[in-house]
């Protein structure tokens, strides 16, 4: 189900999300939330989406990959490259606003999949940027908090 995106300055976007305990995972609820996040991200042509953006204050994100949507529960970045790079970012919760953000080029992230299994991903480039952007959402951080050269574009 495609859900409405919460738009800044909605307070849920600034709230730290609650960790989902692996022994308390309601798989049907998680599966539904994961599917809703994925469908909403795809419908809005997003690279990623965090649960707070659809009004759920839990630590779950989805990222768009070449092989489909990747659901990450309780994502935790455990390793970051020393090297960083600037690139332009936007956000579905800040329509029409773009800015340059400096992010780590590579990272390693641990998470639970939607079956409660512990996983690890090594990401670089755009995928590393998406994971950093979406995990920031889980801590109430928006890209505009880190961006330089913020620009507003008219939405047609």
Phi/psi zone of residue 37: left (φ > 0), alpha (ψ -120 to 50 degrees), beta? alpha
Q: Is 70 in contact with 111 (CB distance < 8 Å)?
A: no
Topology (CATH level 3) of domain 11-152: Peptide Deformylase (3.90.45)
Predicted local distance difference test score (pLDDT) of residue 22: 75
Catalytic site residue from 122, 134, 151, 152: 134
Predicted local distance difference test score (pLDDT) of residue 116: 86
- Residue 13 CB partners (closer than 8 Å, separation 6+): 6, 52, 53, 93, 137, 140, 142
134 an active-site residue? yes
- Residue 107 CB partners (closer than 8 Å, separation 6+): 77, 79, 80, 81, 122, 123, 124, 128, 131, 132
22 to each of 19, 113, 118, how far by Cα in Å? 9, 10, 9
Percent of the chain clearing pLDDT 70 (strictly above): 99
* Separation of alpha carbons 95 and 88, rounded Å: 14
Mean per-residue pLDDT of the chain = 95
pLDDT bucket at 156, cuts 50 / 70 / 90 = low
- What are 23-56's pLDDT values in tens digits? 767 778 888 999 999 999 999 999 999 999 999 9
- What are 92-125's pLDDT values in tens digits? 999 999 999 999 999 999 999 988 899 999 999 9
Domain extent listing, the chain: 11-152
């Amino acid at each position: 189900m495609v859900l409405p995106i919460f738009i800044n300055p909605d307070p849920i976007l600034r709230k730290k999300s609650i960790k989902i305990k692996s022994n308390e995972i309601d798989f049907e609820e998680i599966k539904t939330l994961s599917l809703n996040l994925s469908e909403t991200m795809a419908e809005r042509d997003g690279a990623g989406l965090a649960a707070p953006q659809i009004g759920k204050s839990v630590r779950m994100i989805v990222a768009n990959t070449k092989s489909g949507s990747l659901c990450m529960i309780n994502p935790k970045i455990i390793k970051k490259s020393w090297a960083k790079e600037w690139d332009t970012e936007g956000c579905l919760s800040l329509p029409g606003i773009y800015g340059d953000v400096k992010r780590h080029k590579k990272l390693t992230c641990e998470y639970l999949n939607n079956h409660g299994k512990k996983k690890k991903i090594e990401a670089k480039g755009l995928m590393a940027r998406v994971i950093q952007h979406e995990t920031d959402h889980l801590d109430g951080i928006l890209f505009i908090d880190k961006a330089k050269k913020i620009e507003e574009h008219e939405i047609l």
